[in-house]
């Protein structure tokens, strides 16, 4: 029985058993459903083996929405537990696991795949490319991310979830204080997903540098592509730190090395430093693409070109450079002294300058525009004031002496949700609404969409503004309960109500998708928003090869010039198109990675060795495989083009 | 529009509730360091409010003036690349604000990392505060006493808390006396505090440290020097000595009430002090620091024999 004991959840509760049953039933239902409708072949051929950036993008999107749900349920549980003083809904250990997974899921398995979805779906279309530079690597990136996410998610029913916070500081996350396999899940699941992310970084940098349409200079790229380029550059610089950090953490936990141990030459402070050397750039990896999406949306619906294109690009470059020089502001209170704190305090405040430039440029883009309040625009218009609020509280936190009072309190929690939700989440949902018609050929309902935005913002304000106040009143973060005497009760109740309203808003988004699938008109053409960039110049739905003829670009807004100034984008005649072949290898190899990860987490060494050999086998197979892709003949392209033109 | 008003109404309600309550802990300082921090916080709130108002005003203005429904159908927005002058203002003004705040920040950094202003002339009371899961141990080496989960301090005298941990990283925080600092297993950090007047205060660990974190609090009582001396004498008269065996029991994970001992655990289980600890803040705060450093490094050599 010893062998099986390790798979038991350390602190079982009714909620966990209920989730086990629910997960079991869902899996069975999905498998039976696919079999019943005879969709296995379709699934394998069109999705599991695809290397098409648009389909990979959509798979990222589905994963992100599922994880948003998972992370959201965590959030509701946390707020419910804190809604009243001395609440008994969750016990301490369970609460600790829930906030740890909430953080990891939302940052790494929700926000990251959401931006990956936009990179994948939008970037190649925006630069007029037919796919990414390394399509098969792209599939590996997705499947590694997916397997990492799934591995992380099974933790709460098999063996127990991480319980040391999303920052997983040692020695708390070490074997002495974290005895379940939870932190093993953290180290290994994130590692697997992280390798995928690093490959995405390499892939998209190459794609953007090498595969732009003829004539498109760097300073003519649409702003989202610029943000994607810079974000991926940060990925390539920051993620190796995470890889090394997690490898060291894994060794400390599994092989008893002493990297982060107290004494024996180890240092717990090393973990905190390395974590934030990756962790701070990570938040810019998320926020820059969000800025890019808002730039596209604001420019489209203000019916104007983006104000200050050059300073927009420059400010992102400055932000990306500075993002590597501010990490210690996450622990001003570690005792590094006034000099070090002063340095990091100043660099942190300095980031407010380029960020401010962006805010003002968006405001000036609206100036003299012809503003239409569509749903994506509404997200952007709620983003501007709310994000400004989050930004200025960030400047307050950057004042290191004062930070001794904000640190580890709800004030900090309020701040980072105040930048991540209006910043990243609004961009993701606004961008989703904006690109939905390009993906699926129909619009999301505008009326429901606007309700979603308003409810989201009302819920947001109610949920997070009170935290600024309770933080200043001494409420530390990550406390699973508090006494009535503290007086935190009423404002935490308000926050719980706010979280509930945000949940309703999310439900409305899901309902909107259902409603629009059923009732939305299908004859919307290629350019339903009257947009400005290349992705709207091709057909809807986008054909496999994206553009039958390579587009010619002369300005930052090629498609707008074509519509208004008679610029001709598609010159020349149709020729045969070279496309990559589908491959099952990325999926299979990632499945083996899953098994490898699982056996590492539970220290099942024979299986770990066998699966590692399997991974190596896949790599060797790929090295000797001869795959030159295939050509789509001219007749087939012409046939598709005629059909799509008719569909308009 | 209705929703907008509802939103505004709610914000005002929150503000009204707030102003009706007692002052927030952090903004109700009872010591010079907390005062420095509260002043910084209030100042930054005012400056930031100014920025927020400017951004909101511009936003409302453009949204009202340039919305499509207010314009003729054939209005075609102009193509504007950008304007050097406007952009220079958008960069220049924030830079001035950031420079101002940086100066403030640096100045306060050196203040909170030194003996509190106005207390420089007095000999600081040194208290070692160490955490174990999920308790605080306070050792008074000069007085030769040790307490668990409560700390008595003389008011109007500088305090030097020497912080370290027997377990996960914790953070020592008495909000009304000053901001927090980490207590860690492999080094000692120093937190400089002082209390204006006698009174009871809340202290806690602010850094998540596992299952018992929420209840990881301690009581602080500031008293006059005379009362403090009286208390120390009383402890010597009534409390039992702290033995190594007893201390090891205290370290076991769990929650304990308050207790008091004579002697300190530092005698048999010294703090992990290194000579480079908080070196830079000490240099600013004290003259004759070299003496301290050399004695510390001697101590460190001693410790290495223990390992």
User: Is the pLDDT confidence value at B7 over 70?
Assistant: no
Tens digits of residue pLDDT in A28-61 = 999 999 999 999 999 999 999 999 999 999 999 9
Question: Could you identify the residue written with the tokens 């006698």?
Answer: B198
Q: For A306-315, b where at least 16 C-beta lie within 10 A, e where not — what string?
A: bbbbebbbeb
Confidence band for B70, pLDDT divided at 50, 70 and 90: confident
**Cβ neighbour number for residue B151 with a 10 Å cutoff:** 22
A240 within a domain of the structure (yes/no): yes
A463 within a domain of the structure (yes/no): no
List Cβ neighbours of B86 (8 Å cut-off, separation of 6 or more).
Answer: A364
User: Is the pLDDT confidence value at A293 over 50?
Assistant: yes
A331 within a domain of the structure (yes/no): no
Q: How many separate domains does chain A show?
A: 1
Mutant choice from A348, A370, A383 vs B, greatest count of B C-beta within 10 A: A370
**Cβ neighbour number for residue B120 with a 10 Å cutoff:** 13
A520 within a domain of the structure (yes/no): no
Is some CB atom of chain B closer than 8 A to the CB atom of A405?
Answer: yes
A79 within a domain of the structure (yes/no): yes
- Which segment of A317-331, A508-522, B9-23 scores lowest on mean pLDDT? B9-23
Mutant choice from B57, B66, B161 vs A, greatest count of A C-beta within 10 A: B66
pLDDT at B277: 43
Contact map slice: A 371-400 vs B, CB within 8 A: 371-373, 381, 384-385, 388-389, 392-393, 395-396, 398-400
pLDDT at B9: 61
B115 within a domain of the structure (yes/no): no
What's the whole-number mean pLDDT along residues A169-192? 94
Question: Distance between CA A148 and CA A166 in Å, rounded?
Answer: 15
For B162, the closest chain A residue by CA position comes to A335
B148 within a domain of the structure (yes/no): yes
Domain that holds residue A76: 53-296
Q: Which helix (H) or strand (E) holds A594?
A: helix A585-601
Query: Among positive and negative, which fits the CA dihedral A40, A44, A48, A51?
Result: negative
pLDDT at A449: 97
A93 interaction partners in chain B (CB closer than 8 Å) = 211
Question: Distance between CA B273 and CA A461 in Å, rounded?
Answer: 46
- CA dihedral (A343, A346, A351, A352) in degrees, to 10, reads 160
Question: Could you identify the residue written with the tokens 């590094």?
Answer: A336
User: Is the pLDDT confidence value at A647 over 80?
Assistant: no
pTM: 0.92
Question: Distance between CA A85 and CA A490 in Å, rounded?
Answer: 9
Please state the separation of Cα A227 from the chain's center in Å: 14
B36 within a domain of the structure (yes/no): no
Tens digits of residue pLDDT in A248-281 = 999 999 999 999 998 888 999 999 999 999 999 9
Which CATH number covers residue B171?
Answer: 2.60.40.420
**Cβ neighbour number for residue A548 with a 10 Å cutoff:** 20
Residues B43, B27 contacting (CB under 8 angstroms): no
Residue A330 phi, psi (nearest 5): -80, -10
The DSSP secondary structure of B119-131, one letter per residue, reads: -TTSPPEEEEEEE
Nearest chain B CA: its distance from A590 CA (Å): 34
Query: What is the percent of chain A with per-residue pLDDT over 90, rounded to a whole number?
Result: 89
A276 interaction partners in chain B (CB closer than 8 Å) = none
B43 within a domain of the structure (yes/no): no
Which CATH number covers residue A268?
Answer: 1.20.210.10
Given the DSSP bridges, would you call strands B159-165 and B170-174 parallel, antiparallel or unpaired? unpaired
A465 within a domain of the structure (yes/no): no
What's A9-31 look like in SS3?
Answer: CCCCCHHHHHHHHHHHHHHHHHH
Tens digits of residue pLDDT in B127-145 = 999 999 999 999 999 999 9
Q: How many separate domains does chain B show?
A: 1
User: Is the pLDDT confidence value at B47 over 50?
Assistant: yes
Return mean pLDDT, chain A: 94
Residue B247 phi, psi (nearest 5): -65, -40
Domain that holds residue B205: 125-289+296-306
What's the whole-number mean pLDDT along residues A603-620? 97
Contact map slice: A 291-320 vs B, CB within 8 A: 302-305, 307-311
Please state the separation of Cα A644 from the chain's center in Å: 32
pLDDT at B157: 96
Cross-chain CB nearest to A363 (options B59, B163, B279):
B59
Residue A10 phi, psi (nearest 5): -65, -30
B92 within a domain of the structure (yes/no): no
Residue A426 Cα distances to A303, A556, B22, angstroms: 21, 25, 35
What's A130-173 look like in SS3?
Answer: CCCCCHHHHHHHHHHHHHHHHHHHHHHCCCCCCCCCCCCCCCCC
User: Is the pLDDT confidence value at B307 over 70?
Assistant: no
Given the DSSP bridges, would you call strands B135-140 and B145-148 parallel, antiparallel or unpaired? antiparallel
User: Is the pLDDT confidence value at A86 over 60?
Assistant: yes
A262 within a domain of the structure (yes/no): yes
Q: What DSSP character marks residue A632? A: E
For B182, the closest chain A residue by CA position comes to A334
pLDDT at B294: 39
Q: Among the residues of A351-488, which ranges form H helices?
A: 352-366, 375-398, 400-406, 410-419, 426-440, 446-472
For residue A263, what are the β-bridge partners?
A: A266
pLDDT at B286: 41
pLDDT at B296: 41
User: Is the pLDDT confidence value at B295 over 50?
Assistant: no
Query: What is the percent of chain B with per-residue pLDDT over 70, rounded to a whole number?
Result: 82
What's the whole-number mean pLDDT along residues A615-643? 94
pLDDT at B283: 40
Given the DSSP bridges, would you call strands A577-579 and A630-632 parallel, antiparallel or unpaired? antiparallel
B198 within a domain of the structure (yes/no): yes
Residues B281, A337 contacting (CB under 8 angstroms): yes
């Amino acid at each position: 029985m010893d062998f099986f004991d390790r798979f038991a959840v350390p602190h079982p509760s009714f909620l966990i058993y209920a989730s086990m049953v629910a997960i079991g039933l869902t899996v069975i239902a999905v498998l039976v459903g696919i079999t019943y409708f005879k969709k296995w072949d379709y699934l394998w051929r069109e999705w599991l083996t695809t290397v098409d950036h648009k389909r990979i993008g959509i798979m990222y999107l589905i994963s992100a929405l599922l994880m948003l749900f998972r992370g959201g349920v965590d959030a509701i549980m946390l707020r419910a537990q804190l809604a009243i003083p001395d609440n008994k809904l969750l016990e301490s250990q369970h609460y600790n696991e829930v906030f740890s997974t909430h953080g990891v899921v939302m940052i790494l398995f929700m926000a990251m795949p959401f931006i990956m979805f936009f990179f994948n779906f939008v970037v190649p279309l925006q630069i007029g490319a037919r796919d990414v530079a390394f399509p098969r690597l792209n599939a590996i990136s997705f499947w590694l991310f997916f397997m990492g996410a799934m591995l992380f998610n099974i933790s709460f029913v098999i063996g127990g979830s991480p319980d040391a916070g999303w920052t997983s500081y040692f020695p708390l996350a070490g074997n002495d204080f974290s005895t379940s396999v939870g932190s093993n899940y953290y180290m290994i699941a994130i590692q697997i997903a992280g390798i995928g992310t690093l490959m995405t970084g390499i892939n998209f940098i190459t794609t953007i540098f090498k595969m732009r349409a003829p004539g498109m200079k760097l300073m003519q790229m649409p702003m989202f592509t610029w943000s994607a380029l810079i974000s991926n550059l940060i990925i390539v610089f920051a993620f190796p730190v995470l890889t090394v950090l997690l490898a060291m953490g894994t060794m400390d936990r599994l092989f008893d090395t002493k990297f982060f141990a107290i004494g024996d030459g180890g240092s717990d402070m090393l973990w905190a430093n390395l974590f934030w050397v990756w962790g701070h750039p990570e938040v810019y990896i998320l926020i820059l693409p969000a800025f890019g999406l808002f730039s596209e949306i604001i420019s489209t619906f203000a019916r104007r070109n983006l104000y200050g294109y050059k300073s927009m690009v420059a400010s992102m470059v400055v932000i990306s450079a500075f993002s590597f020089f501010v990490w210690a502001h996450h622990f001003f209170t570690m005792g590094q002294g006034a000099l070090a704190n002063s340095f990091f305090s100043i660099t942190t405040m300095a980031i407010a300058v380029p960020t401010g430039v962006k805010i003002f440029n968006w405001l000036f883009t609206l100036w003299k525009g012809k503003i239409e309040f569509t749903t994506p625009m509404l997200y952007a218009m709620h983003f501007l004031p709310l994000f400004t609020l989050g930004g200025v509280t960030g400047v307050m936190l950057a004042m290191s002496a004062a930070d001794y009072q904000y640190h580890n309190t709800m004030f900090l929690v309020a701040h980072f949700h105040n930048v991540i939700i209006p910043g990243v989440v609004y961009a993701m949902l606004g961008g989703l609404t904006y690109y939905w018609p390009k993906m699926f050929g129909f619009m999301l309902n505008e009326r429901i969409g606007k309700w979603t935005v308003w409810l989201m913002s009302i819920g947001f304000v109610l949920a997070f503004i009170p935290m600024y106040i309770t933080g200043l009143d001494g409420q530390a973060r990550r406390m699973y309960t508090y006494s009535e005497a503290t007086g935190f009760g009423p404002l935490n109740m308000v926050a719980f109500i706010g979280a509930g309203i945000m949940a309703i808003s999310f439900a409305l988004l899901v309902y909107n998708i259902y409603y629009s699938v059923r009732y939305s008109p299908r004859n919307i053409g290629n350019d339903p928003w009257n947009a400005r960039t290349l992705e709207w110049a091709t057909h809807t739905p986008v054909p496999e090869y994206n553009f039958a003829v390579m587009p010619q670009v002369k300005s930052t807004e090629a498609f707008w010039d074509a519509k208004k100034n008679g610029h001709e984008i598609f010159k020349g005649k149709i020729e045969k198109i070279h496309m990559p072949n589908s491959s099952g290898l990325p999926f299979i190899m990632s499945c083996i990675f899953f098994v490898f990860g699982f056996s590492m987490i539970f220290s099942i060494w024979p299986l770990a060795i066998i699966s590692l050999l399997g991974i190596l086998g896949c790599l060797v197979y790929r090295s000797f495989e001869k795959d030159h892709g295939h050509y789509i003949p001219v007749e087939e392209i012409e046939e598709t083009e005629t059909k799509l033109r008719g569909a308009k | 529009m209705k929703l907008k008003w509802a939103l505004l109404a709610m914000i005002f309600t929150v503000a009204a509730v707030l102003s009706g309550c007692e002052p927030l802990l952090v903004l109700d300082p009872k010591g010079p360091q907390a005062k420095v921090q509260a002043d910084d916080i209030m100042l930054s709130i005012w400056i930031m409010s100014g920025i927020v108002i400017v951004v909101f005003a511009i936003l409302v203005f453009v949204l009202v003036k340039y919305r499509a429904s207010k314009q003729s159908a054939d209005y075609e927005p102009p193509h504007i690349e950008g304007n050097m002058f406007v952009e220079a203002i958008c960069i220049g003004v924030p830079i001035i604000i950031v420079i101002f705040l940086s100066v403030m920040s640096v100045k306060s950094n050196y203040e909170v990392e030194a003996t509190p202003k106005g207390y420089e002339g007095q000999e600081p009371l040194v208290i070692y505060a160490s955490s174990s899961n999920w308790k605080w141990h306070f050792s008074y080496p000069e007085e030769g006493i040790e307490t668990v989960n409560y700390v008595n301090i003389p008011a109007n005298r500088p305090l030097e808390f020497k912080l370290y941990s027997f377990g996960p990283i914790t953070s020592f925080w008495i909000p009304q006396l000053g901001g927090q600092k980490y207590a860690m297993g492999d080094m000692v950090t120093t937190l400089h505090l002082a209390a204006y007047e006698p009174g009871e205060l809340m202290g806690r660990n602010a850094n998540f440290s596992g299952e018992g974190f929420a209840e990881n609090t301690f009581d602080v009582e500031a008293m006059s020097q005379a009362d403090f001396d009286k208390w120390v004498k009383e402890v010597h008269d009534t409390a039992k000595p702290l033995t190594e065996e007893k201390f090891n029991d205290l370290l076991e994970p769990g929650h304990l009430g308050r207790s008091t001992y004579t002697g300190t655990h530092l005698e048999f289980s010294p703090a992990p002090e290194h000579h480079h600890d908080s070196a830079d803040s000490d240099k600013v705060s004290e003259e004759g620091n070299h003496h301290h450093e050399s004695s510390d490094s001697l101590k460190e050599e001693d410790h290495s024999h223990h390992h």
